[in-house]
C-alpha cells in the first residue's frame, strides 16, 4: 500500500529537482558568463561560478534520486541564497508584472529545498 506522505515527498523531490535541473543544464550548455560577471561585480573570484553547477545539477540529481537528500537540499538552499544576494536582492520586496512576488521561482526553490532538509527523502529513494 502506498504511503501518502512518502508519495508526497517523492513528488516534491521530483518537482524541485526537475525544475532546477533545467537551469543547471542551460548554464552547462550556454556557459557561466553571467554568473562570472555577477561574482566579479561583487569582487568575488570567478572560479566560484562552477559552484552553480553543483547547486543546479549535482544537488537536484541528489534530491530527485533521494540520495543524501538533505545534503542536496542544503546545497540548493545555499545556491539560491547566493542567487538572491548576488542577482536578485533589489527584487526582494518587488512585485512582478502580473502582481506576484518578483522572486516566486527563487522562493519556490529555496523554501522547498529548506522543507526537504526537515522532511527527508521519504521511502521512495535509491539506497545508499
Strand partners, 95: 101
Which one, of 20, 19, 52, lies nearest residue 37 by Cα? Answer: 52
Sorted by where each begins, the domain ranges of the chain are: 4-119
> How would residue 51 be classed by pLDDT, with cut points 50, 70 and 90?
very high
Residue 44 predicted with pLDDT over 90: yes
Give the percent of the chain with pLDDT over 70: 98
* Segment 30-55 mean pLDDT: 97
For 56-99, how does the pLDDT look when each residue is reduced to its tens digit (9 = 90+)? Answer: 999 999 999 999 999 999 999 999 999 999 999 999 999 998 98
Cα–Cα–Cα angle for 4, 10, 13, rounded to 5 degrees: 140
Q: What is the pTM of this model?
A: 0.95
The single residue listed with the C-alpha cell 526537515 is: 118
Q: 7-24: b or e for each residue (b if 16 or more CB lie within 10 Å)?
A: eebbebbbebbeebbebb
Amino acid at each position: 500500500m502506498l504511503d501518502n506522505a512518502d508519495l508526497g515527498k517523492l513528488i516534491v523531490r521530483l518537482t524541485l529537482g526537475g525544475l532546477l535541473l533545467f537551469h543547471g543544464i542551460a548554464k552547462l550548455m550556454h556557459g557561466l558568463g553571467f554568473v562570472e560577471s555577477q561574482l566579479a561585480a561583487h569582487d568575488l573570484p570567478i572560479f566560484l561560478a562552477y559552484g552553480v553547477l553543483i547547486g543546479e545539477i549535482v544537488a537536484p540529481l541528489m534530491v530527485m534520486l533521494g540520495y543524501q537528500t538533505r545534503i542536496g537540499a542544503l546545497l540548493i538552499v545555499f545556491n539560491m541564497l547566493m542567487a538572491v544576494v548576488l542577482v536578485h536582492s533589489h527584487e526582494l520586496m518587488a512585485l512582478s508584472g502580473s502582481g506576484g512576488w518578483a522572486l516566486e521561482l527563487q522562493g519556490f526553490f529555496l523554501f522547498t529545498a529548506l522543507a526537504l532538509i526537515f522532511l527527508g527523502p521519504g521511502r521512495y529513494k535509491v539506497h545508499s
